[in-house]
Chains A and B, each alone.
Chain A
């Protein structure tokens, strides 16, 4: 937006007096700079409030800083300490478990979209209902599931009522289980977006190809695997990128409101650990080091995802 006055001014009537050649030259010059001018406002904001702070976080990670006095440079101390910090390692492991669950994040909306695509009775309504959790704030979800998942809460009540009492659990108080519950809740709150995406993609599907495959005697499963899947691949990639992001950014608020990292440290994630170190412990430097390690992990995961998608594409 801020670039518009410049562009207009340069092409404005004041310049007409210089004659056609000058004007054309100027236009060309402006043309060359147009993309930069268009990028400028976003770039300025990103550099000022994201890239520079990111660099600062890296800088702080080599310091000891309590937030009061000036940061003291301490070299790699924070990182060597991190290597021995068992809670941090546990937290990072949880991040990786979350990442490992991504195929489920893809599969569930994919198959539900298939279900809706048959235009079952009330599919529009389902589409609306499935998206609803994406509107709920983490505070709402935290309070709600805190109530539903109580040992004597509605979920266990339901399980017992339908004779599945054996499946009743202390959902939020079982170290091995609670992280899974948190992941399930996040999937629950995002799958509707995926359904929406896949559903519209299916609507644009090339039906002729499908018909042709059918005429060739392909089974439904074969069609699904060899025709439909490949057609949807770009959409799946798009969704994959979105959920890789979500796997690193969407958990903090829910953990903050629902489990506070518990029971014990079993639902600590690296960014929750970072927050605790920085704001409960006042160890800003150490917290920044956690952030840097987390960034490296994210870089690796993102790189791996991209590589995987490229590889798949080449296979296609």
Chain B
């Protein structure tokens, strides 16, 4: 045992050395890479062949992303002529059941799409291939958000997926309506009170301050996770996920502050609890029916569509005022299930999808923001895209807190929060029941 451990250390050291050497060549700035976490070598097209089944939940769900899938797969097949790809669209709602069934059966796709952290990949580490032996140092260095694919949220450690894309949640505002209400068209609130005041002015001008939809309870969850970094730290979000901070704590309750403030001021729609966000909720913003909305920060959700409807110059964005850090993460990760028969081909696919040309194509066709250092947005990219990239590059970023708690607890949260905001249960009720669920899950 100890002999083996020592050997492991040696290998790790050696790899670390190797990595350091290769990193020097690239002139990197990417923090201390000590462990041997990336030791792969690029796949050779001539050595890889076979048929690949890829399970994808975004394919055919998000129109923009869907446009990128075929070109990407074709580009891959061109580079790896001996491999054919079968890209299967799976239903978003049914995906957890399918994935669970596949792992139990030890039979399924060769490549699986996984959502970051505990919203996906970290729930299935027992069934997923650890990829460190395959990840090349170059890939490791170039991509960001590795921690969302790693238990313990460290950049180093076992990676169970390769992060793709860059996104999170953000507030949008309609500049035309802001102008109409006598508000500045460059809105950069420093406190939540400023947001509230803007909302009140909109309301006074006869404009619905916030639109959206909370039928599924997602919207409440987003408010909570955007409230979190304004009252808590990144470390505290990890501690909540690990049970060191209970759900019954002040830290948890405080993060609801911003939404409570807006609700109390009557800035949120009464009808939101019966309005589904993804169909009707956000369309209201496109239709110019509301001054502000909380939504995803990339084109898969929604500035792409807002820009089309309202005009690029009329869509503004702001992040949680006074946040200690900015929540950001990948759109998804590509993972290989342990049962995949042809892991060389699976990996070739993932490696290609994480490469520079693929990520450029992904932005060009699908509008997904890149999470690769060497991929820059084209000069003619919309202002909003550049703003988001800047926001994530210039601030300390970390995954959002909802991704750090078990997904069943997050699901329960989005069931209970609407009940709380409709006055049917108290904050204490919600906290207690979430804590119970959390403890049950951790058993």
Contacts and interface: CB of A to CB of B under 8 A. Distances in A.
Whether chain B is bound by chain A comes out as yes
B117 to A, nearest CB: 16
Main secondary structure of the interface of A (DSSP, over half): loop
B127 A281 contact: no
Contacts of B408: 276, 280-281
Contacts of A281: 407-408, 441
Contacts of B308: none
Given A151-B271, A152-B271, 14 more contacts: A67-B100, A67-B103, A68-B104, A170-B274, A262-B415, A263-B273, A263-B418, A264-B416, A264-B418, A264-B419, A275-B97, A278-B100, A279-B101, A282-B123
A-B interface, 7 closest residue pairs, ranked by CB to CB distance from nearest: A279-B97, A68-B126, A67-B104, A264-B419, A281-B408, A173-B274, A280-B96
A175 interface: yes
A16 interface: no
B104 A150 contact: no
Contacts of A276: 408, 411
29 contacts: A67-B100, A67-B103, A68-B104, A86-B433, A86-B436, A150-B274, A151-B271, A170-B274, A172-B274, A175-B419, A175-B424, A261-B415, A262-B415, A263-B418, A264-B418, A264-B419, A264-B424, A275-B97, A278-B100, A279-B96, A279-B97, A279-B101, A280-B97, A280-B408, A280-B411, A281-B407, A281-B408, A282-B100, A282-B123
B24 to A, nearest CB: 41
Nearest to A257: B93
B335 to A, nearest CB: 14
Contacts of A237: none
A39 B418 CA distance: 53
Interface in B97-149: 97, 100-101, 103-104, 123, 126-127
B425 interface: yes
A264 B415 contact: yes
A66 to B, nearest CB: 7
Interface in A265-292: 265, 275-276, 278-282, 284
Contacts of B436: 86
Interface of A: 66-69, 81, 85-87, 150-152, 170, 172-173, 175, 260-265, 275-276, 278-282, 284
A151 B96 contact: no
A242 B175 CA distance: 60
Contact of B440 (A67, A85, A150): A85
A264 B433 CA distance: 12
Interface size class on chain B is 20 to 34
B440 A280 contact: no
B100 A151 contact: no
Interface in B240-283: 271, 273-274
B96 A265 contact: no
B424 A66 contact: no
A276 B419 CA distance: 20
Interface string B81-105: 0000000000000001100110110
Nearest to A170: B274
Interface in B408-443: 408, 411, 415-416, 418-419, 422, 424-425, 433, 436, 440-441
A222 to B, nearest CB: 48
B274 A151 contact: yes
Contacts of A173: 273-274, 422
Contacts of A152: 271
Interface string B217-261: 100000000000000000000000000000000000000000000
Contacts of B97: 275, 279-280
A280 B437 CA distance: 13
Nearest to B125: A68
Nearest to A149: B274
Most buried by B among A150, A170, A280: A280
A280 B407 contact: yes
Most buried by B among A170, A260, A264, A276: A264
Contacts of A85: 440
B411 A265 contact: no
A26 to B, nearest CB: 47
B126 A66 contact: yes
A246 to B, nearest CB: 24
B425 A264 contact: yes
B214 to A, nearest CB: 10
B19 to A, nearest CB: 32
Contacts of B104: 67-68, 284
